[in-house]
Structures are given as C-alpha cells and as structure tokens.
A and B are shown apart, each in its own frame.
Chain A
C-alpha cells in the first residue's frame, strides 16, 4: 500500500474514481506475494502490480466493473481458471485477487 499511496493521493486530489486490487491468497509459485496491490482509475491510470504482468489486464477489466457496480469481487487466476485462458500465470501458480472500490462517485 505504501508504495502506491503517493499515486493514490495524487488521484484523490484530481477527483479520480479508484479501485484497489490486492493479492489475498497464493498457491504454488506466484510472481508477487500476498499483499501485492494495484490501483486503477476509471480513466485508465494504473499503479502497482499483482503479478509479473500476466493478469494485470484482466484485473483492470474487473476493476472497471467494480467501479461501475460498487460491489467488490474476489477473482482467481491460474492454470485451473478456464475463463482466464488468455491470462493464465505462466509460472503455474494460482492467485486470488480481491478487487474493491476505493472512491466512487454517486
């Protein structure tokens, strides 16, 4: 959190809507540990990461849904996730990512 807090503060000051994604569980080999975070704005800005770059695109899409609905989501990525065929972790691990709205309008 501390590493992406400067960006979040900046976005808050600019009135951005922000979603936060956090790795809450890992199994097998994963590129980033539990606690790794990525913040996303509705306007498309990003800070931090939740993997080595393999699932950030998918998490970004979930973050936009979460900002739209206002409802958090727990999503799992890994080789066993058939829906994520194009975003599987190349290292063979499985990660659970919790995506929540931090700042929403309305």
Chain B
C-alpha cells in the first residue's frame, strides 16, 4: 500500500483538513500529491511546475470542501487532468434537549456522517440507553456544555429543549458562534416570542434571522422519525445553499432541467 494513502488515512482519522490531487489524464497516470492546510505537501504529480500550480488551487478548494477536476498545461505543451478532492473534518450535530425527537435525529445524523453531541441537564433523559448512536452525551446546562464543543462552520446546532430556561441560554451561545446551521423547535407563535426575548437580550434582527424556526421543512411530518427527516432535510438544504422553504419541490425541476441540456 502506498505511503500517500497511509498519510491520507491518517489525516482523515486525525480529523485534519487535507486535499488529495490525482493525475487522472496524462502521465504519470495516477500520480498523487497531498496538500495540507499549512505549507506542507506530500508526494508529487511528476512535474514540479504542476505540483506548484495544483497545490495553490487545492488550498483554495480545501476550506470550502470542494471537489473538482481541472485541466493544466505542462511546460511541454501537453494538457493533463488533475482531480482534486478536499477532505474536511466531519460535520458535527449538537442537539440541545435529549427529548424523544432527538433519538431518531441522532441515529439518522450518524448515517449522514455526522459526529453527534447530545446535551441535556436532566440525567434521566440523556442516557446511553436512549442514545446508543450519540458520539457524546453531556449532562449539563446547555450554555455550559456548549462551551466544551467546537462551534465552527462545520457544526450544526438543533435546539429541541422546549423550555425557555434551557433554550434561551443555548441560543445565545449559538448566535455568538460561527455555527453553520441553527434551528429551534416550536410553533410560529413560540418562535416569535423567542425572537422577542432574544431582541431584548440585545441580539439584532440579522442575528435572530440565523435561527431556523419553526424548524424543518414542511413535509407533513408527524412522528419523531418523520420530524427528524424534516430537520435533516432542512440542514442539507441550508448546507447546499438552497432555500429550505422551496426545497420540498427542488429536486424534480433540478433533475428535469439538467436532463434537457
């Protein structure tokens, strides 16, 4: 097995961001270059000038987690294709409130490749028996527990604690973070009341607009598992830069127009 594949496995296991470039058309076919976030690279595509150009492009794609095949012209005049794939650390889903809906939500999120953290101050709710799929179970007040979790753009926060005294402090921490998605359960009326409380706590309308609430896309979900699907569908839509309010009908037109060209 190649040294480079080992290095890639290691980076993925250590949850380190890395891009892998592979020469997929031209010679040496299959040659590889690993590009790390800092100045390090490993391996070679067989042409020093190509390594340099590809490393620069890979460092652009890596923070966005993008994948692309690009064509480069070598000094010799020959064109080669290089496939560049970014590997970012896994996304993290933080669920506040170890309630019934949280159980299928965590199980399904795991299936989507998420690292999951469940937080609840009530220890009879946040049990291993109820959450066999959770990577982390934290029995603590949400705002204190959130301080222990990395809340970067790779983290999505779902607040299911249907109670002001859990929900408000958690949302305040969430809004001060760079989390990729923030959602909170509750009816339209509950959401409006919550927005008002956050406004009084000093948050701007722009801040408050980051909260998706009522949470989830409208698929007529009733059961906890169906609600989990609706929430995760919304998260996927937001992650893909789609408008979740239109996501219910997004799939078919996208396919149809792509098929017509």
Question: Do A and B truly interact?
Answer: yes
Select the stretch in A1-9, A43-51, A53-61, A80-88 that faces chain B.
A1-9
Q: Looking at the assembled complex, report how far the CB atom of A50 sits from the nearest CB atom of chain B, in whole angstroms.
A: 13
Residues of B within 8 A of A102 (CB): 1-2, 5
Q: Please, what's the 1-or-0 string for A71-106, where 1 marks a CB less than 8 Å from any CB in chain B?
A: 110100000000000000001110010101011000
Residues of A within 8 A of B258 (CB): 28-29, 93
Contact of A12 among B1, B29, B30, B68 (CB under 8 A): B1
Select the stretch in B44-52, B83-91, B96-104, B199-207 that faces chain A.
B83-91
Contact of A29 among B2, B24, B259 (CB under 8 A): B259
B162 lies within 8 A of chain A by Cβ: no
**Is B12's CB under 8 angstroms from A2's CB?**
yes
Among residues 212 to 261 in chain B, which have CB atoms less than 8 Å away from a CB atom of chain A? 255, 258-259, 261
Distance in angstroms between the alpha carbons of A102 and B85 in the assembled complex: 16
* With contact pairs A12-B1, A35-B67 given, residues A5 and B12 touching in the complex (Cβ less than 8 Å): yes
A interface residue numbers (CB < 8 A to B)? 1-3, 5, 9, 12, 22, 24-25, 28-29, 33-35, 71-72, 74, 91-93, 96, 98, 100, 102-103
For the complex of A and B, list the 6 residue pairs with the smallest distance between their C-beta atoms, beginning with the closest: A72-B30, A35-B67, A29-B258, A24-B83, A98-B24, A103-B1
